[in-house]
């Protein structure tokens, strides 16, 4: 099996000894020396003199009066075709990063399959920051530095230097995950799941476990956001030991949504409202209003069925109150829509909170139906404006939800469940 070539990127500046150590211990097939050019303001030589200088151009010790050593390639025995110089500004981080990112990409194209090592021991602080940042942005680039035992807090003992690999898998993983983790802030769980699922599995078991958890939580919340509560429970339940303390109320709400009992249907009503809020948070106000319409319709259907024994898809003729004109369809069934369902409820439950709600809010309901009917997702062509949604949301929170909570208090649902999380758990 052929060993891939080793390409070394090395920042140059300060002592030449760490660079020679890196060259000796890594034995690169090709070296890219990253240097500063002559300072345009002062005219002082840049660090490229350590690579391209002629004759004696490097001081053996900083305290020496004159250079006594040849340039680094000469000391390392490098041929002209074994290295190149890339010049960067000393203190312009943006430009250093741009140049080195392009250099890494170019080297990858020139040496396909090569092992790229980025040594950030020498050079200015800006050069170091630029090389580390560019390396972290480039998959497959390994970071290293030359270090060793220290005589004090200032410098490594001469002759005690050694190349050390910098462990950056966590940094790379967090960087790679960040855009998908940030997608939670927009409730874009599907985007988060797809992005996280595409990331390669880290070698480190702890990091691999964190990636797997965030991926599975994203998948579960995506399913929840699509009303697929069974899939959501299957994805989230295995992580209860990790998330139970922080997500206790959420897991309780999910349990209600997946348990077939008398609590399940009202729990789904409140879940529908939280879903509408998420669509509005994404700027999808037509979708949000469509969900509120369904919430109003479903609430009346649930209450009529449970309190009065009336199914809105087949209302018995004898249950139609005097004064209400409800005609059978072509199949002989009396089917009622949203407003008629609430009128039936107000007639049969005049003293309950739902009946009082309809009597007090009948005109408001008609107004909101107009907004919905003019929506593109209903019968019109006008998109719902943010201002329309804000007023509707205030009305739902102030009037509709309190009325529903009074109806569900006997079922042990006394508060609206929390919104789905907009950020993952901290480590």
188 and 214 Cβ atoms separated by less than 8 Å: no
The C-alpha atoms of residue 174 and residue 172 are separated, in whole angstroms, by 6
Nearest CA to 224 out of 262, 195, 245, 193 is that of: 193
How many helices (H) and strands (E) the chain has is answered by 17, 6
Residues 268 and 399 in one domain: yes
Side-chain-side CA neighbours of 324 within 13 Å: the count stands at 21
The last residue of a domain, from among 166, 198, 215: 166
Classify residue 422: in a domain, yes or no: no
Give the tokens for residue 401: 């939800």
Residues 236 and 301 in one domain: no
Between the alpha carbon of residue 259 and those of residues 226, 253, 263, 264, 356, the distances in Å are 18, 10, 8, 6, 30
Whether the CA torsion 72, 76, 77, 80 is positive or negative: it is negative
The pLDDT value given to residue 406: 92
256 and 264 Cβ atoms separated by less than 8 Å: yes
The pLDDT value given to residue 1: 57
From the first residue on, what is the mean pLDDT of each consecutive set of 10 residues in the chain (427 residues)? 87 90 93 88 83 92 89 94 94 92 94 93 91 88 73 42 72 90 96 96 90 96 98 96 92 96 96 98 95 95 93 91 87 89 90 87 87 80 90 95 91 91 79
Classify residue 320: in a domain, yes or no: yes
Residues 269 and 304 in one domain: yes
The pLDDT value given to residue 161: 62
The pLDDT value given to residue 140: 84
Residues 217 and 337 in one domain: no
Strand partners, 118: 9, 143
Eight-class DSSP state of 122: S
Residue 188 backbone phi and psi in degrees, to 5: -90, 65
The pLDDT value given to residue 110: 94
**Maximum separation of any 2 CA atoms in the chain, in Å:** 112
The C-alpha atoms of residue 168 and residue 176 are separated, in whole angstroms, by 12
Residues 12 and 154 in one domain: yes
The C-alpha atoms of residue 22 and residue 165 are separated, in whole angstroms, by 11
The last residue of a domain, from among 226, 260, 294: 260
Classify residue 120: in a domain, yes or no: yes
Classify residue 55: in a domain, yes or no: yes
Residue 217 region by backbone torsions, left for phi larger than 0, else alpha for psi between -120 and 50, else beta: alpha
Residues 114 and 139 in one domain: yes
The pLDDT value given to residue 221: 98
Concatenating the DSSP letter of every residue in 99-120 gives HHHHHHHHHHHHSTTPEEEEE-
**How many domains, in total, are found in the chain?**
3
The C-alpha atoms of residue 37 and residue 22 are separated, in whole angstroms, by 22
The C-alpha atoms of residue 98 and residue 80 are separated, in whole angstroms, by 26
CATH number at residue 109: 3.40.50.10770
First to last CA, the chain: 41
Classify residue 425: in a domain, yes or no: no
Side-chain-side CA neighbours of 207 within 13 Å: the count stands at 17
Classify residue 419: in a domain, yes or no: no
Residues 220 and 286 in one domain: no
For 325, the domain range is 264-411
Classify residue 230: in a domain, yes or no: yes
Classify residue 91: in a domain, yes or no: yes
Residues 34 and 135 in one domain: yes
The pLDDT value given to residue 183: 97
Residues 37 and 140 in one domain: yes
The pLDDT value given to residue 165: 67
The pLDDT value given to residue 420: 97
The last residue of a domain, from among 227, 242, 260: 260
178 and 35 Cβ atoms separated by less than 8 Å: no
236 and 254 Cβ atoms separated by less than 8 Å: yes
Residues 345 and 372 in one domain: yes
On whether the pTM is more than 0.85, the answer is no
The answer for residues whose C-beta is within 8 angstroms of residue 169's C-beta and 6 or more apart is 202, 203, 204, 207
Give the tokens for residue 138: 């480039």
Residues 208 and 141 in one domain: no
Residues 310 and 400 in one domain: yes
């Amino acid at each position: 099996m052929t060993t891939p070539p080793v390409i070394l990127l090395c920042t140059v500046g300060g002592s030449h000894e760490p660079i020679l150590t890196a060259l000796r211990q890594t034995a690169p097939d090709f070296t890219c020396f990253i240097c500063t050019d002559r300072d345009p303001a002062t005219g002082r030589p840049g660090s490229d003199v350590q690579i391209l200088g002629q004759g004696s151009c490097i001081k053996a010790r900083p305290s020496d009066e004159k250079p006594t050593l040849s340039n680094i390639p000469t000391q390392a025995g490098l041929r002209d075709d074994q290295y190149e110089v890339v010049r960067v500004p000393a203190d312009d981080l943006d430009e250093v990063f741009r140049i080195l990112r392009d250099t890494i990409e170019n080297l990858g194209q020139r040496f396909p399959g090569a092992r790229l090592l980025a040594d950030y021991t020498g050079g200015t602080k800006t050069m170091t920051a630029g090389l580390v940042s560019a390396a972290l942005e480039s998959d497959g680039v390994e970071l290293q530095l030359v270090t060793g035992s220290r005589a004090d807090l200032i410098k490594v003992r001469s002759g005690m230097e050694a190349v050390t690999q910098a462990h950056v898998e966590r940094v790379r993983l967090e960087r790679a995950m960040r855009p998908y983790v940030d997608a939670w802030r927009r409730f874009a769980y599907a985007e988060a799941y797809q992005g996280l699922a595409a990331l390669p599995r880290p070698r480190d078991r702890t990091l691999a476990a964190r990636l797997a958890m965030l991926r599975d939580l994203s998948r579960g919340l995506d399913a929840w956001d699509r009303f697929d509560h069974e899939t959501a429970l299957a994805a989230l339940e295995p992580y209860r030991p990790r998330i139970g303390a922080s997500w206790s109320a959420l897991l309780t709400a999910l349990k209600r949504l997946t348990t077939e009992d008398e609590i399940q249907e009202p729990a789904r009503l409140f879940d529908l409202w939280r879903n509408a809020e998420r669509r509005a948070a994404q700027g999808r106000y037509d979708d949000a209003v469509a969900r509120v319409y369904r919430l109003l319709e479903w609430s009346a259907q649930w209450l009529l069925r449970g309190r009065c024994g009336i199914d809105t898809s087949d209302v018995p003729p004898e249950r139609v109150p005097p004064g209400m004109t409800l005609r059978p369809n072509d199949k002989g069934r009396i089917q009622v829509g949203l407003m008629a369902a609430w009128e039936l409820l107000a007639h049969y439950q005049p003293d309950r909170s739902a009946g009082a709600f309809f009597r007090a809010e009948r005109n408001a309901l008609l107004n909101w139906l107009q907004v919905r009917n003019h929506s593109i997702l209903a019968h019109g062509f006008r998109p719902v404006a943010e201002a329309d949604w804000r007023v509707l949301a205030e009305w739902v929170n102030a009037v509709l939800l309190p009325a529903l909570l009074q109806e569900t208090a006997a079922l042990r649902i006394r508060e609206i469940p929390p919104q789905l999380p907009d950020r993952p758990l901290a480590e």
